[in-house]
C-alpha cells in the first residue's frame, strides 16, 4: 500500500504535564477509510493523544503529519513544529467532535455550520448553505436550521457538531468521547450517525467508552493505559479476545 | 392657553418662581445644561467602551510588562478620585508642557447632531471620563472574557478561525450578553457622574443648576435636576433592558 493512503501518521509521541508523563512513545497511523477506536481507562492518555493530534496540545517529542502535510518532526531532542501557515494547513485536514459539543451558543444551527467555511475557507455563502442543508438532512436534523443550540437536546447538539466538522471536508474526523455527555437514549442517535459515516468510508479516530459500538464500527482498536499502547489490533480481536491482562480487566469492568 | 403662560403660572403658584426666574426660563437654562450632560455621556461611552476592550486585552496579555502596566493603570484610575483626575487632565498641558490652555480650544463642531463650540474644558472633561470609565469597563470585560469556556476557543481553533476572528465573532458577542447587567450599573453611574464636570465649571446641568440656586435663592432647580437625572437613568435602564431582551434568544 502506498504512503499516500496514510492520512494520519504519529510517531514516537511523548507528552508530559509537569512530572506527569501522559504519553510515552506512542505511534499511530491511520489509513484512508479506516475507523480507529481508542479505548482505555480515564487518565490513560486517550484524550491527550487526541488533543495532540488535533493541535490543541503540542508534543514534547515525536513527529506528526497529515498526508503530505508535515506538522512536526523530531530532531532528536524534541518535536519541532512547522510555522503558523503549516499549522493552518494542517487544520484543514481534520475535524474534531468534542465531548461537550462546544457549539457556538449565540449562533443558529445554520450559522454554526456555515460560518467557518465562509469565514475561514472563503466558500461562497450560498454553496455553504446548500451543503449545510444536505448535512442537516443526513444528521436527521431537518427543519432545525433556525434554532439555537440551547433549544436542542444533547444528542441533537452533538449531531450538529458532527455536521459542523463535516462542513470543512476533513480527511480525518476525530471524536473525543462523543457520547459521554449524553443519556443512553440520546447516545443511540449519535452512534447511528457515526455508524453511517463509517459505512461511507469516512476516516475516523474515535475515543470512546462504548465497547460494543467500537467492536461493530471500528476496523482497529487501540487500548491505552498509563500513557502506553497496551494492546492494538483488529477490533474484534482486541475486544472479543484480548491478549493482555490489563485489557481483559478493563473490558470486564466496562461491561 | 399658551403652554409657556401655563407653565409660568404653575411655577408662580406652586413653586414660588416669579419675577426674574420664570419656570420656562429655568427649564430653558437647565435644558442647555442637559444637552452638555448628554454630550459628555455619549462621548464617554463611545470612547471608553472600545478602549476598555483594549485595556482588558492588555491586562490579560502574555506580554508581562504590558499586563503589569495595564494593571497599574486600572489600579490608579480606580484608586484616585475622578474629580481629581478631571482637574489634573485639565491643567496638565499648562503645568507640564507650558501650553496656554485657551490655545487648546477646538472650534465649532457638530456632535450628535448638535452644533457646539468645543473648548478645552469640554475636551479635558471627556478625556478624563473616557480614561476613567475605560478602567472600570476593562475589569468587567475581563471577567466576562474569562468566563467563556475553553471549549469555545478550542472549537474555533480547530475550525481554523484566527485569534482575531475567534475574539470578534465567537467570544465578544457572548461576553456582551454576560456583562450587560454589570455594564448597566456603570452606565447608570456615569449619568450621575457627569455632574462632576462642575469642578471644571463646564456648563453641564449640575453646574448650571448650582449657579441658579446660588443667584436666585431657590431650591427648586435642585428638585428639577434630581428629576432630570432620574428620568435620564430611567431612559438608560429602558435601553439596557431592550438590549438584554434582544440577546435573550439564547442561553448557554
- Please report, for chain A, how many H helices and E strands are present, in that order: 9, 11
- A 185-244 → B contacts, CB under 8 A: none
| The predicted structure's pLDDT at residue B114 | 61
The pTM of the full predicted model, rounded to 2 decimals, is 0.87
Angle between helices A154-166 and A125-138 (to 10 degrees): 130
CA distance B31 to B46: 22
pLDDT tens-place string over residues B109-145: 676 666 666 788 899 999 999 999 999 999 999 999 9
For residue B143, the distance in angstroms to the closest alpha carbon of chain A comes to 19
> Which domains are delineated in chain B?
3-249 (1.10.3720.10)
Indicate the DSSP class of residue B17.
-
CA distance B43 to B30: 20
Say what percent of chain A tops pLDDT 70: 98
Instruction: Please give the grid coordinates belonging to residue A232.
Output: 492494538
| The predicted structure's pLDDT at residue A43 | 87
Q: DSSP secondary structure string, A90-131? A: HHTTEEEE-TT----TTS-HHHHHHHHHHHTS---HHHHHHH
| The predicted structure's pLDDT at residue A184 | 86
CB pair distance less than 8 Å for A168 and B159:
yes
- A 45-64 → B contacts, CB under 8 A: 54-56
Residues from chain A contacting residue B179 (CB–CB below 8 Å)? none
| The predicted structure's pLDDT at residue A218 | 94
Which residues neighbour B148 within 8 Å (Cβ) at sequence distance 6 or greater? B171, B174, B175
CA distance A65 to A77: 18
For residue A184, the distance in angstroms to the closest alpha carbon of chain B comes to 22
Question: Is the CB of A102 inside 8 Å of chain B's CB atoms?
Answer: yes
CB pair distance less than 8 Å for B249 and A148:
yes
Q: Select from B153, B146, B149 the least CA-distant residue to B169.
A: B153
- A 119-148 → B contacts, CB under 8 A: 119-121, 148
Confidence of residue B96 (pLDDT cuts 50, 70, 90): confident
Which residues neighbour A152 within 8 Å (Cβ) at sequence distance 6 or greater? A109, A144, A160
Report the residue from B174, B177, B251 with minimal CB separation from A150.
B251
Q: Residue B36 to residues B22, B130, B221: CA-CA distances in angstroms?
A: 22, 16, 17
Residues from chain B contacting residue A92 (CB–CB below 8 Å)? 160
Indicate the DSSP class of residue B147.
T
Q: Which of B150, B153, B155 to mutate to test the interface with A (most CBs of A within 10 A)?
A: B155
Residues from chain A contacting residue B173 (CB–CB below 8 Å)? 106
**Separation of CA B193 from chain center:** 8
Instruction: Please give the grid coordinates belonging to residue A181.
Output: 455527555
On whether the CB atoms of residues A30 and A205 are closer than 8 A, the answer is yes
Q: Which stretch of DSSP H or E encloses residue A164? A: helix A154-166
Q: Select from A59, A18, A31 the least CA-distant residue to A205.
A: A31
Report the residue from A96, A104, A121 with minimal CB separation from B158.
A96
Strands A203-207 and A20-31: unpaired
For residue A127, the distance in angstroms to the closest alpha carbon of chain B comes to 18
Indicate the DSSP class of residue A7.
E
Instruction: Please give the grid coordinates belonging to residue A97.
Output: 467532535
On whether the CB atoms of residues B118 and B107 are closer than 8 A, the answer is yes
What's chain B's average pLDDT? 91
- Residue A205's DSSP bridge partners are A36, A174
Q: Select from B74, B9, B22 the least CA-distant residue to B212.
A: B22
Q: Residue B234 to residues B4, B38, B223, B238: CA-CA distances in angstroms?
A: 26, 14, 17, 6
For chain A, which ranges sit under pLDDT 50?
A: 1-2
Indicate the DSSP class of residue B78.
H
**Separation of CA A245 from chain center:** 27
Q: Select from A108, A116, A124, A125 the least CA-distant residue to A167.
A: A116
CA distance B35 to B46: 16
How many C-beta neighbours within 10 Å does residue B113 have?
Answer: 5
pLDDT tens-place string over residues B139-165: 999 999 999 999 999 999 999 999 999
Angle at A150 between CA A146 and CA A151, to 5 degrees: 55
Amino acid at each position: 500500500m502506498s504512503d499516500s493512503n496514510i492520512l494520519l501518521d504519529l510517531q514516537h509521541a511523548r507528552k508530559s504535564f509537569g512530572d506527569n508523563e501522559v504519553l510515552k512513545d506512542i505511534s499511530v497511523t491511520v489509513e484512508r477509510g479506516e475507523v480507529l477506536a481508542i479505548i482505555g481507562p480515564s487518565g490513560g492518555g486517550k484524550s491527550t493523544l487526541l488533543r495532540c493530534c488535533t493541535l490543541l496540545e503540542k508534543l514534547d517529542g515525536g513527529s506528526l503529519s497529515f498526508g503530505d502535510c508535515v506538522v512536526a518532526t523530531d530532531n532528536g531532542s524534541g518535536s519541532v513544529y512547522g510555522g503558523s501557515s503549516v499549522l493552518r494547513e494542517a487544520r484543514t485536514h481534520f475535524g474534531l467532535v468534542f465531548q461537550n459539543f462546544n457549539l457556538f451558543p449565540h449562533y443558529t444551527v445554520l450559522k454554526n455550520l456555515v460560518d467557518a467555511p465562509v469565514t475561514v475557507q472563503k466558500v461562497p455563502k450560498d454553496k455553504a448553505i446548500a451543503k449545510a442543508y444536505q448535512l442537516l438532512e443526513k444528521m436527521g436534523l431537518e427543519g432545525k436550521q433556525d434554532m439555537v443550540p440551547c433549544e436542542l437536546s444533547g444528542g441533537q447538539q452533538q449531531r450538529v457538531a458532527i455536521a459542523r466538522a463535516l462542513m470543512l471536508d476533513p480527511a480525518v474526523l476525530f471524536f473525543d468521547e462523543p457520547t459521554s455527555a449524553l443519556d443512553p437514549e440520546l447516545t443511540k442517535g449519535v452512534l447511528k450517525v457515526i455508524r453511517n459515516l463509517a459505512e461511507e468510508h469516512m476516516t475516523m479516530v474515535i475515543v470512546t467508552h462504548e465497547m460494543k459500538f467500537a467492536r461493530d464500527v471500528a476496523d482497529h482498536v487501540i487500548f491505552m493505559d498509563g500513557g502506553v499502547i497496551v494492546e492494538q489490533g483488529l477490533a474484534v480481536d482486541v475486544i472479543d479476545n484480548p491478549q493482555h491482562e490489563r485489557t481483559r480487566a478493563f473490558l470486564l469492568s466496562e461491561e | 392657553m399658551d403652554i409657556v403662560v401655563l407653565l409660568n403660572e404653575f411655577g408662580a403658584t406652586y413653586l414660588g418662581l416669579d419675577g426674574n426666574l420664570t419656570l420656562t426660563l429655568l427649564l430653558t437654562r437647565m435644558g442647555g445644561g442637559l444637552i452638555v450632560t448628554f454630550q459628555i455621556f455619549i462621548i464617554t461611552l463611545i470612547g471608553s467602551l472600545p478602549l476598555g476592550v483594549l485595556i482588558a486585552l492588555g491586562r490579560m496579555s502574555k506580554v508581562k510588562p504590558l499586563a503589569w502596566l495595564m494593571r497599574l493603570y486600572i489600579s490608579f484610575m480606580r484608586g484616585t478620585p475622578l474629580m481629581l483626575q478631571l482637574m489634573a487632565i485639565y491643567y496638565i498641558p499648562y503645568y507640564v508642557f507650558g501650553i496656554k490652555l485657551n490655545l487648546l480650544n477646538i472650534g465649532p463642531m457638530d456632535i450628535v447632531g448638535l452644533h457646539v463650540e468645543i473648548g478645552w474644558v469640554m475636551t479635558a472633561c471627556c478625556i478624563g471620563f473616557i480614561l476613567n470609565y475605560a478602567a472600570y469597563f476593562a475589569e468587567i470585560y475581563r471577567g466576562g472574557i474569562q468566563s467563556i469556556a475553553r471549549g469555545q476557543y478550542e472549537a474555533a481553533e480547530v475550525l481554523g478561525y484566527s485569534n482575531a476572528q475567534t475574539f470578534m465573532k465567537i467570544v465578544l458577542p457572548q461576553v456582551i450578553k454576560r456583562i450587560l447587567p454589570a455594564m448597566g450599573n456603570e452606565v447608570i453611574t456615569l449619568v450621575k457622574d457627569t455632574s462632576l464636570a462642575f469642578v471644571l465649571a463646564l456648563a453641564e446641568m449640575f453646574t448650571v443648576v448650582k449657579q441658579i440656586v446660588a443667584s436666585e435663592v431657590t431650591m427648586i432647580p435642585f428638585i428639577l435636576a434630581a428629576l432630570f437625572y432620574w428620568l435620564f437613568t430611567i431612559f438608560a435602564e429602558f435601553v439596557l433592558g431592550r438590549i438584554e431582551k434582544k440577546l435573550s434568544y439564547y442561553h448557554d
